[in-house]
């Protein structure tokens, strides 16, 4: 299961190692903006450790018991139960058992055409360790991914994509966002006006700086252009409305700034891999 860039420093974890692995074909991976490529759980003793140099992996690892010693990009952490350490691409990372003397964890590896963009937009790209607002909810999502890959029934690949999106959204809500005042004003204005027909010029006016300067500041802080970010937030809010309310798809579209339901459905599917109807049906069938 290990990749070409995956080097084991000590023996493989012996006790309770449980990994269910899915290797997507290129055409399948490219069909889903986000996908879980493998998932599992493991129990480690002090002799167990992993290292990757110039990692090709993006992973979420949650400590469920004990603790972990985690080093990434020359920064060292002790990761407590409930907390998450993020494995980032292109850097060196090493992890092993922490001072507790044992480590239990759950993990997933992520992929997909929009993974890099999502990580940069949400701010997750900059973080090594995160304390989730809802650690139990995150652990349930990791268990769900594990079970989907174990059973592989029905539309299991679509379920993996949906679970990847939910995992990243939960983590994104758990991190603080720091930005220049102009960008912070723009972010607040967009969040408060998702249902309005906003333009880049109108957002820039609220930021209070020239448009070229604003666009440069915004991209530096968020990782993408203002209108692309606005669309991502509208899709995220639409997903929440589909999950938590009984609004019709037309009503959801209008609530997030789209008068044209067909265009809203196109945008939603492009970002999540699901039409709004299929997304809601998937939630109802859990």
Does domain 181-284 fall into CATH 1.10.150.20?
Answer: no
Q: Which pLDDT does position 17 carry in this prediction?
A: 63
| Secondary element (H or E) of residue 110 | strand 103-111
Q: Which pLDDT does position 9 carry in this prediction?
A: 36
> Structural domain boundaries of the chain?
6-172, 181-284
For residues 213 and 178, what is the distance between their CA atoms, to the nearest angstrom? Answer: 18
Q: Which pLDDT does position 194 carry in this prediction?
A: 85
Q: Which pLDDT does position 92 carry in this prediction?
A: 93
Q: Which pLDDT does position 257 carry in this prediction?
A: 92
Q: Which pLDDT does position 4 carry in this prediction?
A: 34
For residues 93 and 91, what is the distance between their CA atoms, to the nearest angstrom? Answer: 6
Q: Which pLDDT does position 244 carry in this prediction?
A: 78
Superfamily of domain 6-172: Jelly Rolls (2.60.120.10)
Which residues in the chain land under pLDDT 50?
Answer: 1-15
For residues 129 and 274, what is the distance between their CA atoms, to the nearest angstrom? Answer: 30
Q: Which pLDDT does position 22 carry in this prediction?
A: 65
- List beta partners, residue 84: 62, 130
Q: What is the pLDDT of residues 58-92, one digit of tens each?
A: 999 999 999 999 999 889 999 999 999 999 988 99
């Amino acid at each position: 299961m290990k990749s070409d860039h995956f080097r084991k420093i000590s023996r493989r974890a012996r006790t309770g190692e449980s990994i269910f692995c899915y290797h997507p074909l290129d055409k399948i991976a490219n069909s889903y903006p986000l996908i879980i490529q493998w998932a599992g759980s493991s129990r480690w003793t002090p002799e167990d450790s992993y290292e990757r140099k110039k990692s090709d992996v993006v992973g979420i690892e949650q400590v469920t018991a004990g603790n972990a010693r985690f080093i990434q990009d020359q920064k060292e952490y002790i990761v407590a139960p409930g907390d998450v350490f993020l494995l980032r691409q292109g850097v060196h990372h090493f992890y092993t058992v922490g001072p507790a003397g044992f480590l239990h964890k759950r993990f997933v590896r992520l992929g997909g055409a929009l993974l890099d963009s999502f990580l940069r937009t949400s701010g997750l790209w900059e973080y090594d360790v995160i304390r989730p607002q809802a650690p139990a909810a995150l652990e349930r999502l990791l268990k769900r991914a594990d079970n989907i890959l174990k059973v592989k029934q029905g539309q299991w690949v679509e379920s993996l994509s949906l679970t990847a999106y939910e995992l990243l959204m939960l983590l994104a809500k758990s991190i603080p966002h720091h930005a220049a005042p102009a960008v912070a004003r723009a972010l607040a204005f967009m969040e408060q006006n998702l249902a309005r027909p906003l333009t880049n010029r109108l957002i820039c006016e609220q930021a209070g700086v020239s448009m070229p300067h604003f666009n440069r500041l915004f991209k530096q802080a968020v990782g993408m252009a203002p209108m692309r970010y606005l669309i991502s937030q509208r899709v995220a809010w639409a997903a929440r409305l589909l999950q938590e309310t009984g609004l019709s798809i037309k009503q959801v579209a209008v609530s997030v700034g789209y008068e044209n339901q067909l265009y809203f459905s196109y945008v939603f599917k492009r970002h999540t891999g699901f039409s709004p109807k299929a997304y809601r049906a998937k939630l109802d069938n859990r």
